[in-house]
Amino acid sequence: MSADLSRTPRSVLVSDRSSFRDEKNRLSSQVEQLHLNYKVSVLLPECSSAPAHLDTVFNSFNSFYLIRKLPVYELLDKHFLESAVYQGSVYGLSYRTRIDEDSCVALTPNGHLSLSLDKDAFELLGVEGKPSRFNHRTNCRYVVSVDLTDSSMAPGGRGYQRLLTGLRSRLQLKTDFLLSHHPDQINFICTVQSHKGKNTCNRCQSVIMTSVVQTMSCEVFQVGKTRSMFDILGHVEIRCGCRHKLSVVLLDTSLVCPEPNTTLSRALRVSVCGLLIPQDIHRLIQQIRGYLEQPRLASWVSLTVHGFADSPVSWGGNEHGVLRGGENFYSLLMFHDHTYHLHLATGAHDTCPP
């Protein structure tokens, strides 16, 4: 094993404890600042099937579009800017591109277009940018961030024309692109549909996966002492995703649940995967709160949201870097008394979460 792989990479963890009833809690703003999410997982203890109202939420996540071989300059189309970007709440990300090797593109709801480019692509583009924070000894990657809502980027303006020329004539960057808008407006659909004939454009629904975990050891959560929840939730993720029984047995015997603990007879894990927007996450959280208010149910529910590992932006639009893990996610542990514990995590090189 190489020396680099033998070292455990540094990670950043921010923890917050508050109540939904506290007007000063920051949960809403924290959820909104992770713009580009690919998976949300909910763990319901002592449950084997999701109640109807939660099932409805899982099945009503906002649809999104996959556009094949989209020329990136088309994101500067005047009609697209007016009908989608200027209206706010547009989410876009290059699909199956690798942040450490490929040119990656993101469009966030504040109207910012972010490009992570290698040195050759950056020089071809010919617009202002800055070296990536994740360069090592030499500047091999660059970041270009443009506010499309700024007056200097109005169609026909000098900054607009320079970027358009760079993307259309010099760099000619094309990528498969995921795109979503909240709410799913008719004019936005028409804008996306206009790409048909030039590019393959497919409307997609999020994928729902459910599994039941049997006889799960679980910590008895105490106020202020939920740090080990990461180990528990991570263990569940591995058990649900593992195909080989031998691996599951080895994992089960290598972990010991902290004291005090209890054994759950079962737990339901529901995951939704796609291009998930924060508004749907907010709606799911509210429905889980209602679920916890029902009598004779478990006293807690966990929710974990994962951002895209290869997104060029992470928390609040800050630059994101993979290099080793690419983590950018948060776990929310909600209790029946309306309190919650929130843990926000990033990998070795990202900015500290909000």
Express each pLDDT in 82-132 by its tens digit.
988 998 889 999 999 998 889 999 999 999 999 999 999 999 999 999 998
Looking at the 3D structure of the chain, how many domains does it have? 2
Tell which of 186, 204, 222 closes a domain: 204
* Residue 247 pLDDT class (50, 70, 90 cuts): very low
Q: Would you say residue 213 has pLDDT above 60? A: yes
Confidence tier at 236 by pLDDT (50, 70, 90): low
SS3 120: helix
Quote the distance between the C-alpha of residue 321 and its chain's center: 14
Q: What is the rounded average pLDDT of the residues 143-155?
A: 94
Question: pTM of the entire structure?
Answer: 0.87
Distance CA 61, CA 64 (A): 9
Secondary structure class of 324 (helix, strand, coil): coil
pLDDT on residue 245:
40
Which of 184, 204, 224 lies at the terminal end of a domain, its last residue? 204
Q: Is 182 left (phi over 0), alpha (psi -120 to 50) or beta?
A: beta
Q: What are the residues facing 343 on neighbouring strands?
A: 15, 331
The segment with the largest mean pLDDT, out of 181-195, 223-237, 239-253, 321-335, is: 321-335
- Measuring CA to CA, which residue among 59, 115, 121 is closest to residue 92? 115
pLDDT exceeds 80 at position 350? no
Are both 56 and 179 inside the same structural domain? Answer: no
Domain boundary among 204, 225, 251: 204
Q: Which domain holds residue 10?
A: 3-61+206-346
Closest CA to 160 of 143, 140, 146: 146
Which two three-digit tokens encode residue 163? 């970027």
* Same domain (yes/no): 51, 82: no
- Kindly give, in sequence order, each residue whose CB lies less than 8 Å from that of residue 158, ignoring residues fewer than 6 positions away: 152
Question: pLDDT, tens digit, for every residue of 259-312?
Answer: 666 667 788 999 999 999 999 999 999 999 999 988 766 788 999 999 998 999
Instruction: State the average pLDDT for the chain.
Output: 83
Q: Is the pLDDT of residue 217 over 70?
A: no
